[in-house]
Amino acid sequence: MMKKIATLALMAIFISAWHLPTTIYGTIEGIVSDNSGSPLIGATVLVKGTTNGMVTDLHGKFKLSVPKECVTLVVSSIGFNTKELKNACVGQSLNIVLEEGVNLEEVVVTNEGKAKRAKKDRAAKESERRLYAAPLNRSDFAMASGMSITAPMDQPLHNTEDYDVINENRFFEVTQNPLSTFSIDVDAAAYSNLRRFVNNGQLPPKDAVRIEEMVNYFDYQYPGPQSEHPFEVVTEISDCPWQPEHKLLHVGLQGKRIETENLPASNLVFLIDVSGSMSAPNKLPLLQASYKLLTDQLRPQDKVAIVVYAGAAGLVLPSTSGANKPKIKEAIDQLQAGGSTAGGAGIQLAYKIAKENFVKGGNNRVILATDGDFNVGASSDAEMVRMIEEKRESGVFLTVMGFGMGNYKDNKMQQLANKGNGNHAYIDNINEAKKVLVNEFGGTMFTIAKDVKLQIEFNPANVAGYRLIGYENRLLNKEDFNDDKKDAGELGAGHTVTAMYEIIPAGVESKFLASVDDLKYQDNKVKVATKKSAEFCTIKLRYKEPDGTKSQLIEKPVMDNKIALDETSDNFRWAAAVGEFGMLLRESEFLGNATYVHCKKLAESAKGMDKNGYRMEMIRMLDVVGSLVNPELAGKE
């Protein structure tokens, strides 16, 4: 083992020396633009005769460290003639203009995965799979040096996965905070990601556990819409399984189901990360298998383009009819991993291609597949989010699919999906790919309602306090509910959304409700009519049509029908069991009587038909996780 570590360390030293100049004399900076003065994003700027280079950022700018005072720069960008600048010197600020080219020098990907330089005219090249030149990756260098490889060299040697901190929702007193407002979330990435940890014999990090995504991973048998709205709202109230003196409010949305053959035509762009970090078997190879499953779902009226990015971005396949599946799959099969990760340039090019092939009234969508580890050009969370917020105004939606482990950037994937009118899935195996891209094709790929927000007003005569379970990163200000400029979640065809509130009924003493001093300048008085009302709360919901700008409003009062827990629907008990599972994983301060044994019994009572076996899989996971935690929390007897 020590020998392997020493070998890896030695290789890292060689690689670092190979990629970087031995000395840094100074820096040269500048802007690369086209004839019209528009900046070229993702253009490659290289010191001639070396692998020392970089790509331009969102503004076409670069700043390159060089080993001597003056060098020759080679500047290239897809669709433009390569340009050489001799005697580019330290301290200069260059304004480089590239001419649009007829004969382009680019890299053609071959079956062996090696780059061959070829010059072809533009007409012939439209049918080729095209990819920017990228520096040799670490595995290539090791092989060229005659070194033996004992581990995947493009994988991180330590865990650098990133998750945003989750501050668990607390209880609010209704007289002080009667409104709860949040955006829906149909994503289910957190569940398949935590399953990956459990299958590896580990507990997931607490901040990887997003309870709403666990709950929404599963199908629920809700009735379809019976009105002009594209979804139905259903509610149910009963005793809270882990805190019997409390109530549990279950809210479900069922999106309109549309058969695949009746979906509008799709204009899809597969945006694929082929950087060095994607070389592991659970990354690019799984990604390729997943995209081929999706390709099998395409119809002749659908079309697909493929954009890839590594050190820069390139078009591998121009927009191609779904009738030509062999051509699409061939392009997918040719992909190889290597180089750094210019995610920003890839996103820019993918949206450009999507706009060029836009289908009015159709499903226009970029499908990004990556581990999220962007490190060239626009890579910071702020830069990426601003870019995606700008792009969503184009009418192109976004699906983000995460792959791999060790360097997985969950936080970045979440932000891209949330801000890009999109959804987020984590693909840990081919069965998950089938679930997301085949079984749930309509829900994943076709949006029936966007900017869907819920606002619940609780009746202080019947409710003393409430807590929204999950949705911590989807909370909105109460003023956001009526603001049509405020972004919110999307609902796909046939998708279900489920949310739960733990309720403290009026008259129940609870340690979870912190006291608040009386207001000095105003009173919080309950209306006389309210005291006589049997309503627990009123649910208000706003949504827009996929291409709309003005929201529509739905309102629905909710009554407590005094249903015992064992008489509730499978929907209610299953969602409650998943929520309890998530609270246990997060070691919530609101666990009450929750244990893994209790959670498993509740889940078993609500397994139902379980056509695809997803519920039984979670029940088995409860046994595994219970064995990983301490006996007290597991509830062992």
Q: What is the pLDDT of residues 308-319, one digit of tens each?
A: 988 767 899 999
Question: Is residue 587 in some structural domain?
Answer: yes
Q: What does the DSSP 8-state code read for residue 437?
A: I
Query: Over the stretch 567-614, which tens digit does the pLDDT of each residue have?
Result: 999 999 999 999 999 999 999 999 999 999 999 999 999 999 998 899
Q: Are residues 283 and 200 in the same domain?
A: no
For 529-540, the pLDDT digits (tens) are 777 788 999 999
Alpha-carbon span 69 to 375, nearest angstrom: 27
489 pLDDT higher than 50? yes
For residues 377 and 340, membership in a common domain is answered with: yes
Q: What is the pLDDT, as a whole number, of residue 41?
A: 67
More confident residue, 96 or 412: 96
Inform me whether the pLDDT recorded for 289 exceeds 80. Answer: yes
**What pLDDT score was predicted for residue 180?**
98
Q: What value does the mean pLDDT take over residues 392-413?
A: 87
Catalogue the long-range contacts made by 476-485 (C-beta closer than 8 Å, 24 or more residues apart).
476/181, 476/182, 476/183, 477/181, 478/179, 478/181, 480/181, 480/453, 481/181, 481/453, 481/455, 481/540, 481/542, 482/542, 484/451, 484/544, 484/549, 484/550, 484/551
Domain that holds residue 496: 172-258+449-517+526-634
Q: What is the mean predicted confidence (pLDDT) over 346-374?
A: 90
Task: Please report whether residue 9 resides in a domain.
Answer: yes
Same domain assignment for residues 577 and 597? yes
- Of the two residues 586 and 110, the one the predictor is more confident about is 586
Same domain, 206 and 278: no
For 497-509, what is the mean pLDDT?
A: 96
466 and 612 share one domain: yes
Residues 330 and 470 in one domain: no
Average pLDDT, integer, range 512-525? 82
Is residue 316 in some structural domain? yes
> What is the number of other CB atoms lying within 10 angstroms of the CB of residue 181?
20
Q: What is the pLDDT at residue 168?
A: 97
Taking residues 488-502, what's their average pLDDT?
94
How many CA atoms does the CB half-sphere of 603 hold within 13 Å?
26
pLDDT for 135 beyond 90: no
Q: At which of 101, 119, 148 does a domain end?
A: 101
| pLDDT value of residue 559 | 93
Instruction: Specify if 151 maps to a domain.
Output: no
More confident residue, 421 or 285: 285
Residue 139 within any structural domain of the chain:
no
- SS3 (DSSP) at 154: coil
On average, the pLDDT of the chain sits at: 82
Q: Are 378 and 277 contained in the same domain?
A: yes
Select from 101, 124, 139 the last residue of a domain: 101
Do the domain assignments include residue 122? no
Q: What is the DSSP letter of 518?
A: P
408 close to 205: Cβ distance less than 8 angstroms: no
Per-residue pLDDT for 23 more than 80?
Answer: no
Report the share of the chain in percent with pLDDT over 90: 53
Percent of the chain with pLDDT over 70: 82
Query: Is the Cβ–Cβ distance between 384 and 420 less than 8 Å?
Result: no
The answer to whether position 216 is within a domain reads yes
Same domain (yes/no): 275, 231: no
Give the total number of structural domains in the chain. 3
Backbone φ and ψ for 193, nearest 5 degrees, come out as -70, -45
In this structure, the answer to whether residues 381 and 274 fall within a common structural domain is yes
Structure-model confidence comparison of residues 373 and 556, the more confident one: 556
pLDDT in tens, 423-451: 899 999 888 999 999 888 887 888 999 99
How much is the pLDDT for 341? 66
Residue 243, CA distances (Å) to 365, 514, 591, 595 in order: 43, 18, 8, 12
Residue 108 has pLDDT above 70, yes or no: no
Indicate if 411 and 499 belong to the same structural domain: no
Average pLDDT (515-522) is 82
Q: Same domain for 288 and 384?
A: yes
- Identify the domain boundary among 71, 101, 131: 101
Examine the domain organization and report whether 233 and 332 are in the same domain.
Answer: no
Q: For residue 397, give the CATH number of its domain.
A: 3.40.50.410
CATH number at residue 64: 2.60.40.1120
Q: Is residue 292 part of a domain?
A: yes
Please give the pLDDT value at position 100.
75
